[in-house]
Amino acid sequence: MNVETSMVDKIIEKHGLEQGALIPTLLDIQDQYHYLPIEALQRVAEQMTIPMLKVHQVAEFYNALSLEERGKHIITVCMGTACHVQGSGQLIDHVGHQLRYSTRRNYPR
Protein backbone atom coordinates (compact mmCIF):
# COMPACT_ATOMS: atom_id res chain seq x y z
CA MET A 1 0.00 0.00 0.00
CA ASN A 2 1.20 3.47 -0.82
CA VAL A 3 1.17 5.65 2.30
CA GLU A 4 0.70 9.36 1.76
CA THR A 5 2.96 11.08 4.28
CA SER A 6 0.88 14.24 3.97
CA MET A 7 -2.19 12.32 5.17
CA VAL A 8 -0.27 10.85 8.11
CA ASP A 9 1.14 14.31 8.91
CA LYS A 10 -2.38 15.79 8.98
CA ILE A 11 -3.49 13.12 11.43
CA ILE A 12 -0.45 13.73 13.63
CA GLU A 13 -1.08 17.49 13.51
CA LYS A 14 -4.72 16.93 14.50
CA HIS A 15 -3.75 15.07 17.67
CA GLY A 16 -0.50 16.82 18.55
CA LEU A 17 2.99 15.58 19.26
CA GLU A 18 2.57 14.53 22.90
CA GLN A 19 3.07 10.84 23.67
CA GLY A 20 -0.48 10.72 25.05
CA ALA A 21 -1.73 11.34 21.51
CA LEU A 22 -0.13 8.17 20.15
CA ILE A 23 -3.14 5.86 20.42
CA PRO A 24 -5.70 8.31 18.95
CA THR A 25 -3.22 9.03 16.16
CA LEU A 26 -2.79 5.33 15.39
CA LEU A 27 -6.54 4.78 15.48
CA ASP A 28 -7.11 7.55 12.93
CA ILE A 29 -4.36 6.19 10.68
CA GLN A 30 -5.96 2.77 10.88
CA ASP A 31 -9.35 4.28 9.98
CA GLN A 32 -7.72 5.72 6.89
CA TYR A 33 -5.86 2.59 5.72
CA HIS A 34 -7.82 -0.21 7.51
CA TYR A 35 -4.56 -1.26 9.19
CA LEU A 36 -1.28 0.34 10.29
CA PRO A 37 1.25 0.32 7.45
CA ILE A 38 4.87 0.21 8.63
CA GLU A 39 5.61 3.40 6.69
CA ALA A 40 2.94 5.23 8.68
CA LEU A 41 4.33 3.90 11.96
CA GLN A 42 7.79 5.12 10.97
CA ARG A 43 6.42 8.57 10.16
CA VAL A 44 4.60 8.73 13.51
CA ALA A 45 7.79 7.74 15.33
CA GLU A 46 9.80 10.41 13.51
CA GLN A 47 7.30 13.22 13.93
CA MET A 48 6.38 12.47 17.54
CA THR A 49 9.99 11.66 18.51
CA ILE A 50 8.95 8.33 19.97
CA PRO A 51 11.22 5.32 19.39
CA MET A 52 9.91 3.10 16.60
CA LEU A 53 10.08 0.13 18.96
CA LYS A 54 7.62 1.79 21.35
CA VAL A 55 5.23 2.75 18.54
CA HIS A 56 5.33 -0.82 17.25
CA GLN A 57 4.79 -2.26 20.75
CA VAL A 58 1.71 -0.09 21.26
CA ALA A 59 0.34 -1.12 17.86
CA GLU A 60 0.86 -4.80 18.72
CA PHE A 61 -0.54 -4.56 22.25
CA TYR A 62 -4.00 -3.13 21.56
CA ASN A 63 -6.55 -5.44 19.91
CA ALA A 64 -8.22 -2.45 18.26
CA LEU A 65 -5.05 -1.88 16.23
CA SER A 66 -3.85 -4.12 13.43
CA LEU A 67 -0.47 -4.36 11.73
CA GLU A 68 -1.96 -6.56 9.00
CA GLU A 69 -4.43 -5.57 6.32
CA ARG A 70 -7.99 -6.38 7.27
CA GLY A 71 -11.24 -6.13 5.46
CA LYS A 72 -13.49 -3.11 5.70
CA HIS A 73 -15.90 -4.94 8.02
CA ILE A 74 -14.70 -7.08 10.91
CA ILE A 75 -16.93 -9.80 12.32
CA THR A 76 -16.19 -10.92 15.86
CA VAL A 77 -17.92 -13.85 17.50
CA CYS A 78 -17.59 -14.69 21.18
CA MET A 79 -16.05 -18.12 21.74
CA GLY A 80 -16.32 -18.21 25.53
CA THR A 81 -18.00 -21.16 27.22
CA ALA A 82 -21.43 -19.54 27.52
CA CYS A 83 -21.34 -18.39 23.89
CA HIS A 84 -20.16 -21.78 22.70
CA VAL A 85 -23.04 -23.49 24.50
CA GLN A 86 -25.42 -21.11 22.76
CA GLY A 87 -24.06 -22.10 19.33
CA SER A 88 -21.33 -19.60 18.45
CA GLY A 89 -19.39 -22.27 16.54
CA GLN A 90 -22.40 -22.94 14.33
CA LEU A 91 -22.79 -19.20 13.79
CA ILE A 92 -19.20 -18.98 12.58
CA ASP A 93 -19.78 -21.89 10.20
CA HIS A 94 -22.98 -20.32 8.85
CA VAL A 95 -21.46 -16.87 8.31
CA GLY A 96 -18.40 -18.43 6.71
CA HIS A 97 -20.60 -20.40 4.34
CA GLN A 98 -22.56 -17.27 3.44
CA LEU A 99 -19.33 -15.39 2.75
CA ARG A 100 -17.88 -18.40 0.92
CA TYR A 101 -14.97 -18.41 3.33
CA SER A 102 -13.56 -21.51 4.96
CA THR A 103 -13.95 -21.24 8.72
CA ARG A 104 -12.67 -24.72 9.52
CA ARG A 105 -11.14 -24.50 12.90
CA ASN A 106 -10.38 -26.80 15.78
CA TYR A 107 -13.28 -25.73 17.98
CA PRO A 108 -15.33 -28.51 19.52
CA ARG A 109 -18.79 -28.98 18.04
**pLDDT digit string, tens, across residues 30-68:** 999 989 999 999 999 999 999 999 999 999 999 889 999
Q: Residue 53 to residues 38, 45, 63, 75, 87: CA-CA distances in angstroms? A: 12, 9, 18, 30, 41
Q: Are 86 and 77 in contact (CB under 8 A)?
A: no
Q: Give 69-107 pLDDT, tens digit per residue.
A: 877 777 888 989 999 999 998 998 888 888 776 555 544
Single pTM value for the model: 0.70
At residue 75, the pLDDT reads 80
Q: Is the dihedral of CA 21, 24, 26, 29 positive or negative?
A: negative
